[in-house]
Structure 1
Amino acid sequence: MVIILWCILILSVVFGIYKNFTAIDKHTVHEKKVIQEKMTDTNAVENFVLSYAKVYFEWKPDAAVLDERLKKLENYTSADLRKINEESIREDIPTTSWVEEAKIWSIEKSSKKDYRVEFSVKQKIQEGDKKEKYESFYITNVHKDANGAMVVTQNPTVCGGYSKSNYEKKVTVNDGSVDNNEQLEIEEFLVTFFRLYPTADEKELSYYAEKNVLKPIQEKNDVYVLSEVEIVSAVKEKKITYVQVNVTYLDQQTKAMQISQYDLKLKKEGNWKIVK
């Protein structure tokens, strides 16, 4: 009986060892998909709408001119839109309109072949001796075939324009982390740098700034003459000093003052340097 038990025990151990060596190592494989956003070239749609707006928003109370306008619109609009617009501008209209400027504000792809376009038109309107200028905002839709052919499928539809945001950039306030001596050092460094900057090449810039932090303005550009460097704020955190600075140049071509604003990171290792 004891021998039988020992045999069972030995067989169990052997079987366990066998299973351990022959077991299938199973792993869960997670497939990671990287989705790259495909950039859509909308230049053709933009140019198409701008050309269309030029035709659509110009007219004159003259039968021949209006007939020519309708013929030109055939190159842009679908058949149903042509029918809608046949009587929109008639020979007895009391105004003459010129397009002074048309702008594209946004282009969104609404489907695989359709685009929603927001644009504005600045018109000069003459009625008798009275001349006025108006700017209006519109939405239209453009269908684009695979071969690049396009057609306007929605009449210019009045919409709200764009307005100025109330956002104000946060200005860093001096917190006393930069003492007066350091402030003077930084100001002296920045005056020296920005006096040189308009004419400096990459090698010269490397003495004052790390590579690619500030690109040369233009090779040997002597148009800009430094007028003033105003440090708006300077705050030090560990070894980095964050500086907001207004730099005023006199543009010798236009004779105007050019005020440039920079947010810089400075580090002192023997000498001050602009870092990333």
Structure 2
Amino acid sequence: MKLPFSKKEKHPKPKQSKKVKIKTVGNRKKSVIFLWILLLSSIAFGIYKNFTAIDQHTIHEREVVEANIIDTTAIESFTENFVKDYYSWENETEALEERTEKLSGYLTEELQALNSDMIREDIPTSASVQNINIWSVSEETEETFSVVYSVQQKITEEKDSSFTNATYRIMLHEDEQENLVIIQNPTMWVQPNKSNFAPEQAEDNGTVEATTEQEVTAFLEAFFTSYPTANKQELAYYMQNNALPEVENNYIFSELVNPVYQEQDGQIKAWITVKYLDEVTKAALLSQYELMLEKNDNWMIVESK
């Protein structure tokens, strides 16, 4: 029996679902990249520095200042001789010509010409140098020096005489053979004056007992009585390390004037003025000392300033 032909019904195939691509977006991607770049840059820079670096050492520089002592004896003698000739003259033609000749031994040719009219032939005065004080010799350059000096002149006109005092500065050149020449004319300058400085006066601070003061005073009176005429062996009885020099003068001890004592680290510091009488001049001599004293078996002067 044949089965009636039946047409197979086509059923649509179920559609396969497409795979959905999931894109993961990292929230830290930019920061991670930045860190990698930073790391790589640091490594590269480190390698570069390793090849190009120059060893560096800390150098501690110490400036050593050496005292440069200059012998100014020649400069001072040259200046004194110049001053005597420059500030002395007579109102006579022959004497003035002699003065001009002498000055040629000190001045450049330019300065000789400049000073030719300093003393006129009909000058009514004559002058002589009474005193010269050289206040300073300063090195301006390796070959140039300045000298500040004062000169006292006696000025005579007919029968009248007077004294004048003035301060000047000159400039000198010294060549390799140590020859000297004046390159700047005497120029008005200022003489050093008295300073207003007053040192602090020592005062008794009560650190030394009265009995100790009496002992120290008696010791110092004995010492300064014999000090002017004492020899080294005698001085060694009173002091150590040649604290005071041998003087060998025939002075007579009078008194200690206002001694001041202070205790410092087991020693006694003394500020004293010693009054002596000079038998030759009949004048009083007041010598000031700053001493450090120490007592072992006896009192001794261990230091002097």
Which bracket does the TM-score occupy, shorter chain normalised? 0.7 to 0.9
CA RMSD of aligned residues (A): 1.7
Percent of aligned positions with the same letter in both sequences? Answer: 35
Show CA shifts across 1:74-98 (max 9, x none).
0000001000010111122221111
1:151-190 matches, within 5 Å, as: 151-190=181-220
Q: CA deviation at 1:113?
A: 0.8
Higher relative contact order (CA 8 A, sep 6+): 1
What CA distance in whole angstroms lies between the structure 2 residues aligned with 1:36 and 1:159? 31
Residue in 1 aligned with 2:141?
A: 111
Residue in 2 aligned with 1:256?
A: 283
Q: Within the alignment, does 1:266 sit opposite 2:296 as a pair?
A: no
Task: Tell me if the contact between 1:61 and 1:95 (Cα under 8 Å) persists in the aligned partners.
Answer: yes
Q: Within the alignment, does 1:208 sit opposite 2:235 as a pair?
A: no
Show CA shifts across 1:104-130 (max 9, x none).
100001011110100010111112322
Q: Within the alignment, does 1:246 sit opposite 2:273 as a pair?
A: yes
Aligned pair partner of 2:73 in 43, 60, 69: 43
Q: CA deviation at 1:154?
A: 0.9
Q: Which amino acid aligns with 2:256?
A: V
Q: CA deviation at 1:234?
A: 1.1
Q: Within the alignment, does 1:149 sit opposite 2:176 as a pair?
A: no
Aligned pair partner of 2:93 in 63, 80, 98: 63
- Between 1:29-38 and 1:129-138, the stretch displaced more is 29-38
Aligned pair partner of 2:261 in 202, 212, 234: 234
Unaligned runs of 5+ in 1: 1-25
Q: CA deviation at 1:162?
A: 1.5
Residue in 1 aligned with 2:131?
A: 101
Task: Tell me if the contact between 1:208 and 1:274 (Cα under 8 Å) persists in the aligned partners.
Answer: yes
Show CA shifts across 1:214-244 (max 9, x none).
11113xx4x1111112243111123121111
Q: Which amino acid aligns with 1:252?
A: E
- Bigger radius of gyration, 1 or 2? 2
Q: CA deviation at 1:34?
A: 4.2
Unaligned runs of 5+ in 2: 1-55
What CA distance in whole angstroms lies between the structure 2 residues aligned with 1:194 and 1:231? 15
1:77-92 matches, within 5 Å, as: 77-92=107-122
What CA distance in whole angstroms lies between the structure 2 residues aligned with 1:127 and 1:235? 62
Show CA shifts across 1:50-87 (max 9, x none).
00000000011111111110000000000010000101
Residue in 2 aligned with 1:4?
A: none
Task: Tell me if the contact between 1:187 and 1:231 (Cα under 8 Å) persists in the aligned partners.
Answer: no
What CA distance in whole angstroms lies between the structure 1 residues aligned with 2:63 and 2:271? 42
What CA distance in whole angstroms lies between the structure 2 residues aligned with 1:73 and 1:27? 61
Show CA shifts across 1:18-69 (max 9, x none).
xxxxxxxx98776766442221111000000000000000011111111110
Aligned pair partner of 1:76 in 80, 102, 106: 106
| TM-score normalised by length of structure 1 | 0.85
Aligned residues: 248
